[in-house]
Amino acid sequence: MNMLRLALVAGVSLGLAACAVGPDYKAPEPAPVAVLNADPQSFAVATPDADWWQGFQDPVLADLIQRAKSGNLDLKASVDRVKQSRALFDDRRLDQFPRVTSEGGYTRSLEQVPGFGTKRDNVQSADLGFDANWEIDLFGHVQRSVEAADADAGASEADAQDVKVTVAAEVARNYFELRGAQQRRVVAEANAAAQRETLKLTETRTSIGQGDPTDVESAKARLAAIEATIPDFVTAETRANYRLAVLVGERPGALDSLLTPLKDQPAPLVKPLPIGDASGFLRRRPDVQAAERRLAGETARVGVATADLFPRVTVTGFVGLLSGDVSKLFTHGAGAYSVLPTVTWPALDLGGAHARLRAQEAKSDESLANYDQTVLRAIEDLETALVSYRQQQTQIRSLADQVTAARRAAELAQIRYKEGTADFLTLLDAQRTQLAAEDSLTAAETNANTDIVAIYKALGGSWA
């Protein structure tokens, strides 16, 4: 009869457990974004490859990103954090059922019976069985805790995806910065070589009385100015090289053989960049997903704090063998069980419970504000990247025309200076203009490639 009553109470309690107090979470659904700067001349609605970096058709870049996927330590740490959060969720989910542990013990002591003289007796006892502990979830304390743990695990998974997106973007960005530094160094070295020829020419003309010693010094100064720019490019190249090594999980210098200068540098894309339907990019952004999951977790914890205002019923019990004589532990009369329901309620601490609830509600509101801010920053990232890329394309076209004209002007000035129909300042100015134009074009092409990386990162980095 007692067991029947206990089963009846447990059944009623399970029915009541469905009535969890606190707010029921509903995920916010941001409206589709009206992208302002995705003009059809620069961007296409075609869906890019899931591995967007393949669009550059650069096998070295593809290899580096593949290495980073398997070797990046930040990525490995993020995967471990997902495992941790999922394990904690699994543990929290088990709170919905009785926790059963096994117990066995033996005690022997020499004791004096209080109030009955000084005689001491040998006392022994033994027990073997199972203990159980179960919170009957009348007001959803356990249910909301499980919801919060599940949301935390979801946030960890979104964070891990964000690390994937960030690592791929960082590899691509540093790769293009390295190639840009290499190309700018090549341009500077080529111009330095040309300037040495100019210096020889001015020295020859001066030695035969057709030149001015001032022109020689000016040529030396110009050569020194060009050579002074080369160390900066070497430093930038080395910095990007070492950063790439760390990103793929290697020590600095491990990629030297792979990252030697190319004969043909990666050219910027000239066709409209495929970005898919950018209006729904927020659904792909892992940082937005993580912020939403954190909001879900804090909302569930409001329910946990609300449930703390109400009584909590816990049932503990034991079933097994118990005897004061070890030799009789496994006999028929050693069977034993106990059931102990416990009710706890912060009757004299309701003020503290209400304060904790208000604190959690404020934390939930903070998570909502953080979510909204994450959405705004995501839109800002995309619009800024789109504008930068579009303007960079315009700049590249103008700089390409400038380079063509500057090279032709420098060639003509060189011919005229040799013939004596143009002074040295004209030649020097033409060469200076050519160098500046070529360097600016190389820098703009590098920026265009890094802008593409920024766009795909802002779009969420994956179309899988």
**In contact, 172 and 54? CB cutoff 8 Å:** no
Mean pLDDT for the chain? Answer: 88
Question: pLDDT tier at 267 (50, 70, 90 boundaries)?
Answer: low
Q: Could you identify the residue written with the tokens 């004096």?
A: 112
Q: Which has the higher per-residue pLDDT, 110 or 18?
A: 110
Q: What is the pLDDT of residues 169-191, one digit of tens each?
A: 999 999 999 999 999 999 899 88
Partnered with residue 136 across adjacent β-strands are: 313
Of 261, 344, 287, nearest to 78 (Cα)? 287
The DSSP annotation for 260-281 comes to PPPSSPPPPP-SPEE---GGGG
DSSP code, position 132: E
**In contact, 183 and 236? CB cutoff 8 Å:** no
In a 3-state reduction of DSSP, which class is residue 356?
A: helix
**In contact, 48 and 269? CB cutoff 8 Å:** no
pLDDT number for residue 114: 65
**pLDDT above 60: residue 9:** no
The Cα–Cα gap between 169 and 462 comes to 11
Interval 226-246 mean pLDDT: 96
Question: pLDDT tier at 286 (50, 70, 90 boundaries)?
Answer: very high
Which residue type occupies 33?
Answer: V
The Cα–Cα gap between 328 and 80 comes to 50
All structural domains of the chain, each given as residue ranges with its CATH number in brackets, are 2-458 (1.20.1600.10)
Interval 113-136 mean pLDDT: 78
Q: What angle do CA 401, 407, 412 make, to 5 degrees?
A: 125
pLDDT winner (highest mean) among 42-56, 58-72, 410-424: 58-72
**pLDDT above 80: residue 2:** no
**In contact, 220 and 275? CB cutoff 8 Å:** no
Alpha-helix runs per DSSP H in 336-423: 350-419
Of 365, 356, 362, 360, nearest to 309 (Cα)? 356
Q: What is the pLDDT of residues 385-405, one digit of tens each?
A: 999 999 999 999 999 999 999
**pLDDT above 60: residue 15:** no
In a 3-state reduction of DSSP, which class is residue 44?
A: strand
What percent of the chain is modeled with pLDDT above 70? Answer: 93
Q: Which has the higher per-residue pLDDT, 49 or 265?
A: 49
**In contact, 454 and 168? CB cutoff 8 Å:** no
Long-range contacts of 195-203 (CB under 8 A, 24+ apart): 195/219, 195/222, 195/223, 195/226, 195/431, 196/223, 198/222, 198/414, 198/427, 198/428, 198/431, 199/223, 201/417, 201/418, 202/424
Question: pLDDT tier at 222 (50, 70, 90 boundaries)?
Answer: confident
Alpha-helix runs per DSSP H in 94-212: 141-207
**pLDDT above 80: residue 110:** no
Would you state the structure tokens that stand for residue 138, as one six-digit string? 């009348």
Interval 77-98 mean pLDDT: 94
Question: pLDDT tier at 6 (50, 70, 90 boundaries)?
Answer: very low
**pLDDT above 90: residue 100:** no
Question: pLDDT tier at 230 (50, 70, 90 boundaries)?
Answer: very high
Interval 12-41 mean pLDDT: 79
Count CB neighbours of 276 within 10 A.
17
The Cα–Cα gap between 384 and 90 comes to 42
pLDDT number for residue 201: 83
- Strands of 312-323's sheet in order across: 99-112, 120-136, 312-323, 335-344
The Cα–Cα gap between 28 and 31 comes to 9
pTM: 0.86
Of 261, 257, 246, 242, nearest to 181 (Cα)? 261
